């Protein structure tokens, strides 16, 4: 007999909102700050291959940054500035301030239709958690109060689809994997990762599709309460 579901976890980017506009605005804010502070460096004209090489060598020097995307971004900016002969101390402080400019826009997300109402509905009967590989802190968005837990992969040093990330998050919530349904848009990271960890998964796939391992597939968030009702047998969600 399966355990009753106690926790529903959600991916964030491209599951509860379209991440592209927020990321584009955040990137623009970062480069706007850097170009204003260092106008003579023409940082925006740095050749793409040079950017790629700096990223590659940074990860070679500090492979642990692979799972710490905020620190990676800030470290990359610092290395880029040093590459352009900005002294170490100034490069470090400027990188910190540029990343702050990035974050100032990163959380200005526009939710998908029905995201808020679906979370409100589910939150009346389940605990809710956010589990993301990105650096968005859901508590800094308009739906932050909907969540009992908010986890970013960079806090654990491991990313989806690694089952270890799911296990550590579930342990912090005081639940076992078979008491969790995870919802996300990426079949590899969200569905495969959650199922490998022992949880159930619902694939949010606006374009449709089939999955041999997901416990459900929804194309609209409004379909989610009914899908969870079918899985749990808990009435009054759909």
Mean local confidence (pLDDT), 5-14: 98
Does position 235 have pLDDT exceeding 80, yes or no? Answer: no
- pLDDT tens per residue, range 55-114: 999 999 999 999 999 999 999 999 999 999 999 999 999 999 999 999 999 999 999 999
Burial of 138 by CB count in 10 Å (0-12 exposed, 13-18 middle, 19+ buried)? Answer: buried
Mean local confidence (pLDDT), 16-29: 96
Same domain, 69 and 115: no
0.75 exceeded by pTM? yes
- pLDDT tens per residue, range 167-213: 999 999 999 999 999 999 999 999 999 999 999 999 999 999 999 99
Cα(180)–Cα(170) distance, integer angstroms: 8
Same domain, 94 and 123: no
Same domain, 120 and 169: yes
Mean local confidence (pLDDT), 213-231: 96
Same domain, 36 and 117: no
Same domain, 76 and 39: yes
**What b/e string do you get for 80-99 counting C-beta neighbours within 10 Å, with b at 16 or more?**
bbbbeebeeeebbebbebbb
Under the banding of pLDDT at 50, 70 and 90, the label for residue 1 is very low
pLDDT above 70 covers a percentage of the chain that reads 97
Domain count, the chain: 2
Same domain, 129 and 36: no
Same domain, 55 and 94: yes
Q: Which domain holds residue 28?
A: 20-106
Same domain, 14 and 28: no
Cα(76)–Cα(86) distance, integer angstroms: 13
In a domain, 1, yes or no: no
Same domain, 141 and 222: yes
Does position 146 have pLDDT exceeding 60, yes or no? Answer: yes
Q: What angle do CA 124, 18, 127 make, to 5 degrees?
A: 20
Q: What is the pLDDT of residue 24?
A: 96
Same domain, 84 and 128: no
CATH code of residue 46: 1.20.120.1600
Does position 230 have pLDDT exceeding 70, yes or no? Answer: yes
Candidates 3, 16, 58; CA nearest to 177 is 3
Cα(72)–Cα(78) distance, integer angstroms: 10
Mean pLDDT, rounded, of the chain: 95
Mean local confidence (pLDDT), 213-217: 97
Task: Identify the three-state secondary structure at position 182.
Answer: strand
Same domain, 53 and 149: no
Task: Identify the three-state secondary structure at position 174.
Answer: coil
Same domain, 14 and 35: no
Does position 226 have pLDDT exceeding 60, yes or no? Answer: yes
Which tokens go with 217? Answer: 């597939």
């Amino acid at each position: 007999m399966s355990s009753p579901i106690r926790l529903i976890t959600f991916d964030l980017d491209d599951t509860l909102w379209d991440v592209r506009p927020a990321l584009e605005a955040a990137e623009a804010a970062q480069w706007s700050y850097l170009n204003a502070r260092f106008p003579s460096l023409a940082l925006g004209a740095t050749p793409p291959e040079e950017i790629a090489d700096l990223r590659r060598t940074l990860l070679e020097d500090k492979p642990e940054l692979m799972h710490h995307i905020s620190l990676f971004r800030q470290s990359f900016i610092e290395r880029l500035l040093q590459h352009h002969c900005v002294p170490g101390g100034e490069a470090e402080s400027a990188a910190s301030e540029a990343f702050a400019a990035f974050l100032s826009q990163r959380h200005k997300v526009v939710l998908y239709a029905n995201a808020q109402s679906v979370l409100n509905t589910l939150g009346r009967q389940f605990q809710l958690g956010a589990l993301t590989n990105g650096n968005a802190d859901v508590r800094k968005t308009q739906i932050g109060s909907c969540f009992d837990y908010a986890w970013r992969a960079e806090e654990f040093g491991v990313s989806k689809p690694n089952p270890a990330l799911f296990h550590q998050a579930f342990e912090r919530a005081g639940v076992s994997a078979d008491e969790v349904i995870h919802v996300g848009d990426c079949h590899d990271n969200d569905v495969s990762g959650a199922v490998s960890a022992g949880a159930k998964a619902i694939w949010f796939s606006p374009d449709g599709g089939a999955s041999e391992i997901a416990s459900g597939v929804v194309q609209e968030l409004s379909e989610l309460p009914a899908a969870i009702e079918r899985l749990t047998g808990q009435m009054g969600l759909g």
